[in-house]
Structure 1
């Protein structure tokens, strides 16, 4: 029975989001009472948008990956934990024995949370469930207990869904995606930190006066402030740092310029398909459950097209490599996941409402934390990879990745599950209190940024106007 379930899950996952989303959204549209033609067209448009977005991200990965490798070689970095990238992380996670159990369990758990008004996020992004399963898989290999792993995974999932609920107004008002939330732990768990940092920058003389965003860059720099020119300049700069010849520098500049233009257009196409589904879901919920709101949980890729995010991410490529070289505690050699920095910096930029300077400061702090987690959990990540039979690259003895090491909530839980290790337990307890305090401190900041009501309680999970759960 378990083998049949695993085969069915693997079939769906192997199809990929671009192929399965049209089917899922068509069925979803029919359930909402929409016509077959409208539902299918919307679903197919979303599939086409995802296909285009993945092609552009592939272009970004190829261009940044090669230039990053050249920069690393020029610096002569020799670190013993290799960044193998998120695709390897996903493959290892789905290969663990707990994955086939957690996929349906997390889906059912999501439905239960929705039913009892404990979240508003309905996560339809099954292919990125690995981000929710990864913490459970790591805890499974840390404890050798499937029950502890499942419980911790569900606790983590609940926290991520609540973070997605909390940040949904920013997704709507900053990114322009109403009715959407981003329930991905490797990105959204940085939101309490980055919103707290934004408060700190407000108090620092000098820094609190600097506001560099896509709009005023264009106003001040003219043609050189346009996204395509920013991409060109950043690409040429990375080519120079990589030691490329003139031809390769020009090619990299054009490629990064193309990414700046093509990514927003692919996301616009994707949203063209999502809009009727989101509107149908809103009408369906309001008719049957007056006052209740549900967000469609999607891949964080849908917001990476924002010009400020791409700009900060490209600037962070050489900065991340430099940080890897100078941070005394770091053992991670950044490589494959340098191309996913647009995901890593999402909430660094959103917290500052597109201020590129503050977004860069927030991202530097976030990446320092990523390096710490990667170094601290590198041995456990390697143990999990060995257990599922991952073939290590030649010369690599330990593996991790920027994406795999972006789970703050996982690190906290791993420290708390073993009270016998008092130093680790105390570190986890302190981190938990600090994380909770930062979240509580900034709980109304998103509402305030966009002029939304900040009621003191939403115990009945009812939305009044634009208000949402704290």
Structure 2
């Protein structure tokens, strides 16, 4: 069963999502040709999004590596990146039991009207599996606590997805969509509270700087293309690149900020018919109820304010790791994931880059500390699935793992009460 699940997941969203969407469309009575076309277009959208994200990672990866080296950062927990965290989670012994349970629990919650979100983003179930795996390895392999932890994590995530769906539609322009992404939607309450506090701070509460205002003030130089060019060039300068690499990095990040929103538009071309069909189908059978299709936050990170905030925060996050008391994580591989981590903080501020940066200065240290706390159990999970540790590395974690604060809030008391 584990091999079958891993084979399906190994196909990736570009293949998996068209299959899921086609089946979903057929269940909604859309007919094979319409459902299949919508599924293929969504698959094409994910291919495009993943290609652009890959370019972003391949560009920022070497830049951040050089920047970290130049800053002389030396910490003992290695940031191995979210793909390793996902692989370790999917390789866990709990997967054959927990994976179907996550899907069935979502269906159950939909049936009893406890959620509006149908979470079809099966790939990102790894974050709920991570919650189960850390509890399993920290509570003497207690299956009851493991199952309870996963179901609590899923329930909280789906409720937050429901709550934030109107914001996702208003700010990101994604009607009928929610983002049940544990590592991103979990920061919504934190960002919401911080934003309300800033509303009461004289001076700060009157400052509003968004991408449109920058563009109006600076004209063509305020467009996403030039913002990416400038920010990319600054990062390359901090990495001590030569002129050629500085220009290449700047142009590449500018291209990412232009192309990524267009890939999302292709994705939405397939999603809108499905969303409308789902609403009509459910309206006829469940009058008065509203439903959302739960997808990956990748469809939202192309927003210029999100990209600008994340890129500015990359060098700041490295500096924070040096001075933050209690931090042991060397942020590196997952620095590019700040584009995901900061998506909801930016949305909460309605794209106010100034206020988003202030909130980010509070959220990023929390990510570092949670990732540090996850280090020992993350390392145990790595050994359990045979992860090849880099030479000289004794403890692993990931900066994105530090965004999994819902699992952390569940795991921490359980590990203290039932751990060895």
Q: TM-score range by the shorter chain?
A: over 0.9
2:14 to 10, 15, 18: 18
Q: Distance in 1 between matches of 2:173 and 2:341?
A: 19
Report the Cα offset of residue 387 of structure 1: 1.4
Contact preservation (8 Å) 2:2, 2:95: no
1:251 to 242, 248, 251: 248
Report the Cα offset of residue 281 of structure 1: 0.2
Bigger relative contact order, structure 1 or 2 (CA pairs below 8 A, ≥6 apart):
2
Residue equivalent to 1:404: 401
Q: Distance in 1 between matches of 2:196 and 2:20?
A: 41
Q: Distance in 1 between matches of 2:14 and 2:400?
A: 22
1:332 to 310, 329, 333: 329
1:343 equivalenced with 2:340 (yes/no): yes
Q: Distance in 2 between matches of 1:414 and 1:236?
A: 41
1:78 to 50, 58, 74: 74
SS class of match (2:113): coil
Report the Cα offset of residue 411 of structure 1: 1.7
1:319 to 287, 305, 316: 316
Q: Distance in 2 between matches of 1:71 and 1:100?
A: 41
Residue equivalent to 1:30: 26
Q: Distance in 1 between matches of 2:331 and 2:57?
A: 13
Residue equivalent to 1:120: 116
CA 1:310 to 1:418, structure 2 compared with 1: closer, same or farther past 3 Å?
A: closer
1:355 equivalenced with 2:345 (yes/no): no
Residue equivalent to 2:214: 217
Report the Cα offset of residue 30 of structure 1: 1.4
SS class of match (1:290): coil
SS class of match (2:402): coil
TM-score (norm 2): 0.98
Q: Distance in 1 between matches of 2:415 and 2:192?
A: 30
Stretches of 4+ aligned residues off by more than 3 angstroms: 418-421
For structure 2, the 5+ residue unaligned runs are none
Q: Distance in 2 between matches of 1:135 and 1:401?
A: 14
1:146 equivalenced with 2:156 (yes/no): no
Report the Cα offset of residue 135 of structure 1: 0.6
CA 1:37 to 1:418, structure 2 compared with 1: closer, same or farther past 3 Å?
A: closer
Residue equivalent to 1:178: 175
For structure 1, the 5+ residue unaligned runs are 425-470
Report the Cα offset of residue 419 of structure 1: 6.1
Q: Distance in 1 between matches of 2:280 and 2:5?
A: 31
Contact preservation (8 Å) 2:74, 2:330: yes
TM-score (norm 1): 0.87
1:59 to 45, 50, 55: 55
SS class of match (1:82): strand
Q: Distance in 2 between matches of 1:320 and 1:415?
A: 24
Residue equivalent to 1:235: 232
Residue equivalent to 1:68: 64
Q: Deviations over 1:187-240 (max 9, x none)?
A: 111110101111111111111111110111110111111000000000111011
Report the Cα offset of residue 184 of structure 1: 1.1
Q: Distance in 1 between matches of 2:313 and 2:390?
A: 26
Contact preservation (8 Å) 1:93, 1:137: yes
Report the Cα offset of residue 418 of structure 1: 5.0
Contact preservation (8 Å) 1:132, 1:184: no
Residue equivalent to 2:128: 132
Contact preservation (8 Å) 1:94, 1:100: no
Report the Cα offset of residue 168 of structure 1: 0.5
Contact preservation (8 Å) 2:128, 2:407: no
Farther off after superposition, 76-85 or 29-38: 29-38
Q: Deviations over 1:348-371 (max 9, x none)?
A: 101101000111111121111011
